[in-house]
Amino acid sequence: MQRASRLKRELSLLSTEPPPGVICWQNQNQLDDLRAQILGGADTPYERGIFTLEIAVPERYPFEPPKIRFLTPIYHPNIDSAGRICLDVLKLPPKGAWRPSLNISTLLTSIQLLMAEPNPDDPLMADISSEYKYNRQLFLQNAREWTEKYASQ
């Protein structure tokens, strides 16, 4: 019951006061199956892209973090080809930084920040990470191409 009322409250807040560049909604009226869209940030290779994410809310939420993955392909060192995201707030301690005080809005904002500022020292995609570190121009070009190809409306 706690999970359902908390999710309703969070979804209501996300619809009335969403973080800038983020929208989130229930998928087919399933409370634990959500979708979100993040707009690529200005001055990033993802600018003008619209990235769709899938959010699966576990039974133990908020004591366990939601499982979030990109449905839109994205060229990023911390996001793999299956859309999985390497971000500490998406994992439970001791390896992660998830806390029950965090919410879906916070997670989506954190993902948006990760898009703008990749962490090449904790990559899921080693080849993209080394490109980001040692050949930034090529990385930016590839990321822009992927954004145009997969995230343009």
List pLDDT tens digits, range 85-114: 999 999 999 999 999 999 999 999 999 999
Instruction: List the domain range (segments joined by +) for residue 111.
Output: 1-151
User: Which amino acids are annotated catalytic?
Assistant: 86
List pLDDT tens digits, range 9-61: 999 999 999 999 999 999 988 889 999 999 999 999 999 999 999 999 999 99
H or E segment to which residue 39 belongs: strand 30-39
CATH of the domain at 112: 3.10.110.10
Pairing of β 22-27 and β 67-70: unpaired
Strand order through the sheet with 67-70: 22-27, 30-39, 50-56, 67-70
Domains contained in the chain, number:
1
State the pTM of this model: 0.95
